[in-house]
Amino acid sequence: MSKPFAAASWMRVPVLLAAFSAGASSGQPNDRRMPSADQASVGSRFDPEAATRSYLAKLAPDQKARSDAYFEGGYWLTLWSFLYAAPILVLLLVTGWSARLRGWAEQRVRFRPIQTIIYWAGYSVVTTVLVFPLTVYRRFFREHVYGLSNQTFGAWLGDFAKEFVVALIFGAILIPFLYGAVRRIGQSWWIWGTAISIVFLAFYLLVYPVAIAPLFNKYTRITDERIRNPILRMARANGIEAQEIYQVDASRQSKRISANVSGFLGTQRISLNDNLLTRTSLPEIQAVMGHEMGHYMLNHVEKALMFYALYFAAAFGWVNWAFHQAHRRWGEKWGVRGIGDTAGFPLALLVGMIFSFVTSPLVRSFVRVQEYEADIFGLNAARQPDGFAEVTLKLSEYRKLDPGPLEEWIFYDHPSGRVRIYTAMRWKAENMLQ
């Protein structure tokens, strides 16, 4: 998925995706049933914990070391990204660059929303250029080092340019509304800012599958009845009037396999990528799609909007307080007139980033709970516990499978591999082996 708020990462909202990586197999899915993790344990002696250990033992030591290194490196990248971006925002303030850009926009036009858009465009270009070295390392070179990317640098740069344009357009819609609320309403702007942001988020979710996702990948209807029919039967059996399942050509970018439910209010689309089709068995595909149907049937998008309404209210309330504290001390020196002045945008973004950094475990925990709920739904819908466990095991290409409890709470926005495999084996013990 593209990242529409690259310049304002604290306002980025994770779209609920279920990503599943797999090892290479034949070009067509295998429709045989997945073998049990421990056939000797079938029957009354079946032990979910032992079966979980059996699955985890399939991961070779070098694969585990590589997986752990990649995922744990992400912890440090989160910190370095914050420490890299924060001084840039401070620099824009202390050098007076932000105030000069605001002044330049005011000299060109008198209509304040257009002034805000001009400021946003200039800010986006400058910060994107300054952050570009870290972006290239994080999203291109590192992905190639760990064997997760299929893109040439030129292809990656093309997608990055599209992302920048999308961010520019959506920011040009959102930012003027937020600053308009600040200027007209005053101290209670953060309440209206929350409402504006939630409406904007719902709008983004509405248009994403129709207008944004096709900019980066080609979506085609799956016509192979061996794949399509079982998935549609499962959907109808669970009250989903699905008519089509879509395939995404994600292999042009990545080796990861994934599936997702995207959209809102009639634009929902269940999609799986071509890596999932070519690198996994049919039971694994059914397990993944059962999980994705869980997000839809459990109304996770609507619940996420309610969660983020509370989260945005807390974030904007913090920004309002922290901005005024900093402005009283340094605002005149920086040429920032107040919180309604676009010249103060780097300061608002900086204090917002601090809030996001500190509260990120809370957001991840909310998403992780929804993912666990979808896991349970998917197991009941697809009835493929071993397929689910096999797919989860293959997350080892890019996700550490067996973290400590505190590590999982802080850094994981999905249940850990151990938890997911154990959940599948517990389901198996209770439903299929009695």
Query: pLDDT tens digit string along 47-61?
Result: 999 999 999 999 899
Residue with tokens 């937020």: 178
Two tokens at 185? 């309403």
pLDDT of residue 44: 57
- From CA 280, how far away is CA 286, in angstroms rounded? 10
Cα-to-chain-centroid distance, residue 320: 27
DSSP state string for 258-271: EEEEE-STT--EEE
Question: In this predicted structure, what is the pLDDT of residue 236?
Answer: 87
**Higher confidence at residue 345 or residue 40?**
345
Q: Which helix (H) or strand (E) holds 106?
A: helix 97-108
Distance CA 55, CA 404 (A): 18
pLDDT on residue 189: 93
Q: In this structure, what token pair is assigned to residue 32?
A: 């045989």
Q: Which is it for strands 269-273 and 246-248: parallel, antiparallel or unpaired?
A: parallel
Q: Is the pLDDT assigned to residue 417 strictly greater than 80?
A: yes
Q: What is the mean pLDDT of residues 42-46?
A: 63
Picking from 179, 162, 166, the residue whose alpha carbon sits closest to that of residue 105 is: 179
pLDDT tens figures, 152-186? 999 999 999 999 999 999 999 999 999 999 999 88
Query: Is the pLDDT assigned to residue 252 strictly greater than 60?
Result: yes
Q: Helices (DSSP H) in 327-384: which residue ranges?
A: 332-334, 345-382
Who contacts 141 (Cβ-Cβ below 8 Å, separation ≥6)?
A: none
Q: Which residues contact 71 (CB under 8 A, 6 or more apart)?
A: 398, 399, 400, 411
Domain boundaries, the chain: 9-431
pLDDT at 317 over 50: yes
